[in-house]
Amino acid sequence: MPATKPEEINLVERARNGDVDAFGVLYKLHLDEIYRYIFFRVSNDRDAEDLTEQVFLNVWEALPEFEYQGKPFTSWVYRIAHNIVIDYYRSNNKKPVPIEELYSDKLITDHPTTLQKVIENEEYQMLANAISKLTDEQQQVIILRFIEGFSHREVAEVLDKNEGACRMIQFRALKALKESLLESRIGR
């Protein structure tokens, strides 16, 4: 996670003051990373898109309360995203969707695509499915650390834990993920 740039601070400040356009720019800036974070937790691209939008709506509503306290703006956005994912599972009593169910449908309905794209999608889906079987904290650490490329300190900021604890979670998460990936392969 790169350090917050002055332009972003300016955009956040403008958005805090009700500037919808500035918020639109922030949205475009962070859309993909929040989408990725959510996708790998809910394993469903449509839901991930809807939830991404919901995250930013919540961000907009909570913006007047946001204050820079030495942590980047995105740390705060990730925390909101995390809460949205928790709500998603709670309110819908959802469970990760089996890969076959999601993927067979996708193959039929998607626009013509190259084999490479299909393989990529399959990889993403398999990863998402495996990640979604981890505990909540493990999911966060894995996604932030290895998909988004956060340092231990940055992960700690989002999770509001110390770095040592995050490092421990990371090792456990990787081991659990290894098992989960193995299961996914065997299950297919």
Binding site for another protein (CB under 8 A): 18, 20-21, 23-25, 27-28, 31-32, 35-36, 39-40, 45, 48-49, 52-53, 56-57, 60-61, 120, 123-124, 127, 142-143, 145-149, 167, 170-171, 174-175, 177-178, 181
Q: Is the dihedral of CA 127, 115, 52, 21 positive or negative?
A: positive
Shortest distance (Å) from residue 134 CB to another protein:
12
Token pair belonging to 136: 């909540």
State which residue, 1 or 70, has the beta carbon closest to another protein. Answer: 1
SS3 for 28? helix
Distance of closest approach, residue 4 Cβ to another protein, in angstroms:
20
70 vs 163, beta carbon nearer another protein = 163
Q: Which of 53, 79, 51, 76 is nearest to 66 (CA)?
A: 76
**CA nearest 30: which of 63, 69, 4?**
4
Which position has the token pair 């955009």? 11
- Nearest approach in angstroms of CB 131 to another protein is 8
